[in-house]
Amino acid sequence: MPRWIPLESNPDVLNQWSRKAGLAHNAAFDDIYGLDEGLLAMVPQPVKAIVLLFPITPQSESKRKQEDEEIDKNGQPSIDPTLLWIKQTIPNACGTMGLIHAIANSDVTVSPASPLAKFIDECQGKTPEERAKLLETTPLFETIHSEAASGGQSAVPTNLDTDLHFTCFVAAPAARGPGSEGAGLRVVELDGRRKGPIDRGECTDLLQDVAKIVQEIYIKGGPESLQFSMMSLGPA
């Protein structure tokens, strides 16, 4: 399977992709410049989803493996079954995956006749693997991805191997079950490389909560890197 061109972590690139896919003009992606209170206060509210670009390192891969093993062994809180999650099978498609996960699982407006609206509708009732196959066989998304990737500020790389990866965070209702009344919202991470959606805990403020999660899980204990980047989906 051919590798797609990696998407640049740049709101202009993400918004170019989103507009062509069908996101309405009253919503947009914006930079999150840092995790301290003053910089978080600059982010347009309300935040509907957050996309994180992070470096894949030996430390992050070890932590990912350990976390997957713990979930396999001990389970996790039930995930809202209406969330749309897709298994990533296309190399370097994590940018498109993160954008689909962010928009499809938020209450932002998507044009009913758009490629994204049709894709989301066709995903209903399918397994994550079937959704992945649908993405593989929908050439329009490869075209949108390629055009957005080629429209960034950086030159298109000739070597398409990358050690950077996009993941996405959304707020979702706690799955209903015995004793779950009033359970509220949960922060859920949607990463196509994982075995499924990951419950990251109670959601009181998506932006603040994700900032703490990123600091604790992705940054703390890892090598210093300038390759972390976060963007929010919110009002234009």
From residue 85, how far is each of 112, 118, 120, 140 by CA, in Å? 20, 16, 10, 19
Query: What is the number of domains present in the chain?
Result: 1
Digit-coded pLDDT (tens) for 35-91: 999 999 999 999 999 999 999 988 889 999 999 999 999 999 999 999 999 999 999
**Does residue 3 lie in a domain region?**
no
| Catalytic positions, written as ranges | 94, 165
pLDDT band at 223 (very low <50, low <70, confident <90, very high): low
Mean pLDDT of the region 6-32: 94
Mean pLDDT of 148-164: 62
DSSP secondary structure letters along 127-157:
-HHHHHHHHHT-HHHHHHHHHHHHTSSSPPP
In-domain check, residue 115: yes
- Cβ contact 85:190 at 8 Å: yes
Per-residue pLDDT at 227 exceeds 90: no
Kindly give, in sequence order, each residue whose CB lies less than 8 Å from that of residue 170, ignoring residues fewer than 6 positions away: 48, 49, 50, 83, 101, 102, 105, 106, 187, 188, 190, 206
Contact yes or no for 233/27 (Cβ under 8 A): yes
> Is residue 4 in a domain?
no
Confidence of residue 137 (pLDDT cuts 50, 70, 90): confident
| 5: in domain | no
pTM score, whole prediction? 0.90
For the segment 171-208, what is each residue's pLDDT rounded down to a tens digit? 999 876 554 455 689 999 999 999 999 999 999 999 99
Give 225's pLDDT tier (boundaries 50, 70, 90).
low
Residue 29 counted as domain residue: yes
CATH of the domain at 50: 3.40.532.10
Is 139 a member of any domain?
yes
* Range of the structural domain that residue 209 is part of: 11-235
In this predicted model, what pLDDT tens digit does every residue of 116-135 receive, in sequence order?
999 999 999 999 999 999 99
Tell me the C-alpha to C-alpha distance, in Å, between residue 226 and each of 4, 8, 34, 173.
23, 14, 12, 33
Q: Output the pLDDT for position 13.
A: 93
128/196 Cα distance (integer angstroms): 8
| Residue 224's pLDDT band (cuts 50, 70, 90) | low
Judge whether 2 lies within some domain.
no
- Using CA atoms, how far apart are residues 161 and 204, in angstroms rounded to an integer? 38
Give yes or no for a contact between 136 and 1, defined as CB atoms under 8 angstroms apart.
yes
Kindly state whether residue 6 falls inside one of the protein's structural domains. no
| Predicted confidence (pLDDT) per residue in 201-217, tens digit | 999 999 999 999 999 99
What is the pLDDT at residue 226?
67
